[in-house]
Amino acid sequence: MDIKRKTLEKLLEILVSRDSFYVPGAKSQKVELQRKDKLYDGLRNKLELDEEMHVLESTGYVDVIWSNGIFISVVLRKDEPTLARLFRYLGQEDPRIAASRQIELLRTWTTNPHPVVRSFAIAMTEKLTDRRPATKNYYSDEGQLQKYLVAMDAIAGLEQETFYRNLSMKLFGNSKELEGMAGKLNSLFREFDERSYDEEEEPLAIYGLIKNPIQVRLKGPITIKVGEQEIGLSSWPNFFALNDEAIARCSVTSGSPKRVITIENLTSFSAFNDPEAIAIYLAGFHDKVKQSLLLKIFEAFPDIPYLHFGDMDSGGFYIFHHLKVDTCIPFSPFKMDVESFLSVERFALPLSPNDRKRLTAQLDDLNFQEFHELIALMLTENEKVEQEAFIALEK
């Protein structure tokens, strides 16, 4: 092991990890390694270590503290000429220079039309301008940063369901690149999107980026035409599933529904039995495919009630809100009120600290005004209820 190089690399790593390094003229603690540091395990009691430190001291990058000829600690010299020479010697770039280039790139995205992209670009520009290495969790250099910005922009602008591999080829010429970025992209959308997501929700899927074809399950008194084929769902056993291509081509030709209801969870959808209702399995947040089908149904039946049945928790309230806002359909909540909560309270679950935080925020948000009475009760009782409780109630 080249102990001299390893020592310089570790000293520099400590220096650039400190916020003070990025603030011109800021005072900072000395950057020091002591003989007892684990870097020197195996060498601590050998003369070889002292010999190496004599050589290292002669380079001018460090000052070495000695006691009776024994190396005690090594301290990095932090004057700018020495640091510039050290970065060159180690083949590294001063992160302050990299940050300046990243700031220039980010500023070109701060007027992006998509709020999630714009919010990310503005926040990162501000943090980097404050000389904090804030973006290292998302990309290693401006090339990586550009990739994530391009991907975020493309995903936020999707108008229809799109496969990962197809968008990846279009953006990067590599069908697997985008899928490898998915974890960080989902984190970025969670942090900077205007929309709130449950922990189990994938923001990219909500925007329409999918790995496999989507199917929508529905049932009820409705006839749908796909191409030349008409399908009457009333006589169909249990439910019927339409994939995304069929939904894009389908039209609603007839039906006699008294209401339309979207249902958040599969168990509740399977148990739901109302011959006068069109029921659609939502599977959490709606996506572009389900929205397209809902709009076609609403165009055919605009004058009947539209309901949403979801969990009585913060996630269920977010799902309802985004469904109503995104589709512009006048949805009303179904079994998501104080009376319903009290009827199944014996099946309630305790609120987590995150549940309470999210519910408290919703209680102060007028977008969730229709749930305020229920949320206040839930916070008082420290409880939430999943919609499957109503199935348990009937047993």
**Can you give the pLDDT at residue 132?**
54
* 158 within some domain: yes
Measured CA to CA in angstroms, residue 239 lies from 31, 218, 225, 236 at distances of 67, 6, 16, 6
Establish how many alpha carbons lie within 13 A of residue 335's alpha carbon, considering only the half-sphere containing its beta carbon: 20
* 361 within some domain: yes
**Can you give the pLDDT at residue 45?**
65
Residues 125, 193 within the same domain: yes
Closest CA to 178 of 200, 209, 206, 199: 209
Residues 115, 174 within the same domain: yes
Residues 188, 229 within the same domain: no
CATH, residue 22: 1.10.10
Is residue 319 within 8 Å of 391, Cβ to Cβ?
no
* 302 within some domain: no
Domain containing 65 equals 3-92
Residues 21, 69 within the same domain: yes
Residues 241, 286 within the same domain: yes
Residues 77, 61 within the same domain: yes
Domain boundary among 161, 189, 209: 209
Residues 197, 274 within the same domain: no
256 vs 357: CA distance, rounded Å: 43
Say what the pTM is.
Answer: 0.62
278 vs 258: CA distance, rounded Å: 8
pLDDT digits (tens, 9 = 90+) for 12-25: 999 988 877 877 77
Identity of the amino acid at 269? F
Confidence category of residue 211, pLDDT binned at 50, 70, 90: confident
Residues 251, 332 within the same domain: no
Residues 183, 262 within the same domain: no
**Can you give the pLDDT at residue 200?**
64
Residue 382 has pLDDT above 50, yes or no: yes
Residues 104, 204 within the same domain: yes
* 393 within some domain: yes
**Can you give the pLDDT at residue 224?**
86
pLDDT digits (tens, 9 = 90+) for 319-376: 999 899 889 999 999 999 999 999 989 888 999 998 899 899 999 889 899 999 999 9
* 304 within some domain: no
Domain boundary among 92, 124, 145: 92
303 vs 133: CA distance, rounded Å: 55
pLDDT digits (tens, 9 = 90+) for 160-208: 888 899 999 999 988 889 999 999 999 999 999 987 776 666 889 888 8
**Can you give the pLDDT at residue 258?**
93
**Can you give the pLDDT at residue 137?**
46
Closest CA to 315 of 303, 323, 306: 323
The full 3-state SS of the chain, as one line of letters, equals: CCHHHHHHHHHHHHHHCCHHHHCCCCCCCCCEEECCCHHHCCCCCCHHHHHHHHHHHHCCCEEEEEECCEEEEEEECCCHHHHHHHHHHHCCCCHHHHHHHHHHHHHCCCCCCCHHHHHHHHHHHHHHHCCCCCCCCCCCCHHHHHHHHHHHHHHHCCCCCEEHHHHHHHHHCCCCHHHHHHHHHHHHHHHHCCCCCCCCCCHHHHHCEECCCCEEEEECCEEEEECCEEEEHHHCCCCEEEEHHHHHHEEEEEECCCEEEEECCHHHHHHCCCCCEEEEECCCCCCHHHHHHHHHHHHHCCCCCEEEECCECHHHHHHHHHHHHHHCCCEEECCCCHHHHHHCHHHCEECCHHHHHHHHHHHCCHHHHHHHHHHHHHHHHCEEECCCHHHHHHC
* 301 within some domain: no
For the segment 209-222, the average pLDDT, to the nearest whole number, is 85
Domain boundary among 234, 268, 295: 295
Residues 100, 204 within the same domain: yes
**Can you give the pLDDT at residue 44?**
61
* 222 within some domain: yes
**Can you give the pLDDT at residue 248?**
83
241 vs 226: CA distance, rounded Å: 12
> Is the model more confident about 374 or about 232?
374
Is residue 335 within 8 Å of 387, Cβ to Cβ?
yes
Is residue 371 within 8 Å of 324, Cβ to Cβ?
no
* 314 within some domain: yes
Number of domains in the chain: 4
CATH, residue 359: 3.40.1360.10
127-136, 226-235, 386-395: least confident range: 127-136
Confidence category of residue 246, pLDDT binned at 50, 70, 90: confident
Residues 244, 256 within the same domain: yes
